[in-house]
A and B are shown apart, each in its own frame.
Chain A
Amino acid sequence: MFRRIIHAKWPGFTIALFIILLLLPPLVPRFFIYILGLIYVTSLLAMSLNLVVGHGGMFQFHHAVFYGVGAYTIALLLTKTSWPMWVGFIAGPILAALVGLLIGWFCVRLTRLYFGMLQISLGSLIWAIVFRWYKFTGGDDGIHGVPMPGFLSSLNSSYYFILIILAGSLILLYLILKSPFGSTLQAIRDNPQRCEAVGINVKRHQLRAIVVATFFAGIAGVLFVVLERSVFPDLLFWVLSLEIFIMCLLGGWFTFAGPILGAAITVALRIFVGKYTEYWTLILGIILILLIFFLPEGVMGYFVGAFKTRTKKVAERGNP
């Protein structure tokens, strides 16, 4: 397992980047540390979605619900119960995956667009419950000032925690993608009918992928609470689902790390352009239109493609 990670593409680059990111907090302003934290959380959310959308080919239209369930689970457990705090950290992803199992169980029975439509309806139902149930969830006020364990008391320590969990999650996602489970999932994306004909239970495999993806979305939800100390119903709103869908598209469906780039671009736009105009989504829209016309494989997909053609040309020149 460890050898596999070492063999990953550009291991040196990845490890160096990780070390640089670890060293940042004392060197840059707090505001940037906060933004980076937000980018990490959003990246993990987008990566979890891409497992089912990019690599699984499913129309997971309402992924934010599982993020929200993870976030609300830990927030509610830490504010309303006196259970040990670690329970909240574990329960977030697990409950997200259970909700994923429940919603997914209905959705995999349908195909393509119908899958997506059903998921939007079921997901919106959960949003409505969170939004309306004032006594329990705080309704549209949400929950603020969620207490955190001592070792997460400062912004910097939260930053380290989020970065390390993100790195661990990315390694797991990478292993999953390169495992038989991952390669079968990609085969189902390309040709579900043929997969059935070679003895694969397509619906069950898809359901498993949804459970795995929603588990990681739940982790992202927990990390959001670690960073923000609050939750609100927008976390489960369909607008956010659309946004993370766009992040995957922006970064590149078929690449591993593309969604991270997509998340970074989207979060940066929201914060830096959002400072000047509330119509920052207009800029996102324009970028998206340009992207669809000029880089249909996404930003990362474009560079990976360019890199491949270059190495291929070099190889061809090498042995004529």
Chain B
Amino acid sequence: MLRVEAVVKSFEDFLAVNEANLSVAQGEIVAVIGPNGAGKTTLFNLITGQLRRDRGKIIFRSEDIGELPPYQICQKGIGRSFQIVNIFPRLTVFENIQVAVLSQQKKSSLLFRPARNLAVVETRSILESVGLLDKSQNIVGSLSHGDQKILEMAIALGNEPELLILDEPTAGMSPEETFATIELIKRLARTRGLTILFCEHDMDIVFSIAQSIMVMHQGRTLIQGKPEEVRNNKEVQAAYLGGSDA
């Protein structure tokens, strides 16, 4: 479904992503791991168009999306959440998701129809499936960090993506929240038929839900394979033991 081939991205003299390769098959849950600064978030930003690659190919459903702006990539069916909570702070929980649903339904430009009567069913169904329905009228600035991370993910669902990219979905969460979020991700993948690509620091989480794992080190792809292959790989062990926090 998604193939990243030898993608390179540099900031001035720093090679953030250097020959990264990744492949995600339909219906799979794929994790990207690697020490801090390995280039995981940069890779995600390249896939969803927030950044533009210097070289290499990013192919989604046999089309190179490397030159497209973010909104077109989203319209092709790739949704994403952000590592740092990136929501609409002045709007309510409901409105946050509604913005995405309206965009998905191509209704963002309607001038004289009251927005509050539109996309209500879809928005409520998303709120229900992530468990935020009882908070739908809260201003999101007042939510807990855990709820904001969930909302972050729920906004991406508003676009009915086929591929959902999650950048550290459980960062900063308590162990209970983390557990609940992992269950939520598994359930969403199952019930909505989503393909999921995520990156995560917590190895327990990664090895418990990922079907395929890609390891990045200093911008390079070390290996992509099944969890046990990755666990037993010498190079991976060396990279992790070779002086990093993860």
Interface residues of A (CB under 8 A from B): 1, 4, 172, 175-176, 178-184, 186-187, 190-191, 193-202, 205, 208, 212, 254
Contact = CB atoms under 8 A, between A and B. Distances in A.
Contacts of A194: 82, 86-88, 155
A198 to B, nearest CB: 4
B162 interface: no
A199 B104 contact: yes
Interface in B115-158: 115-116, 118, 155-156, 158
A201 B72 CA distance: 8
B156 A178 contact: no
A184 B112 contact: no
B99 interface: yes
B98 interface: yes
Nearest to B96: A187
A183 B112 contact: no
Contact of A179 (B90, B100, B114): B114
A198 B115 contact: no
A4 B71 CA distance: 31
Nearest to B152: A194
A191 B86 contact: yes
Contacts of A184: 99, 102-103, 108-109
B234 interface: no
B111 interface: yes
Interface string B73-86: 01100011010001
A261 to B, nearest CB: 21
B18 interface: no
29 contacts: A176-B112, A178-B114, A179-B113, A179-B114, A180-B113, A180-B118, A181-B110, A183-B98, A183-B99, A183-B102, A183-B115, A186-B88, A191-B87, A193-B50, A193-B70, A194-B155, A195-B103, A196-B49, A196-B70, A197-B70, A197-B80, A197-B156, A198-B104, A198-B159, A199-B103, A200-B71, A200-B108, A202-B71, A205-B108
A198 B112 contact: no
Q: Which of B108, B109, B155, B156 has the most CB of A within 10 A?
A: B108
B71 A201 contact: yes
Contacts of A181: 108-111
Contacts of A182: 115
B86 to A, nearest CB: 5
Smallest CB-CB A-B distances: 9 pairs: A199-B74, A196-B70, A198-B100, A184-B108, A187-B99, A190-B88, A199-B103, A183-B115, A180-B110
A310 B220 CA distance: 57
A194 B171 CA distance: 19
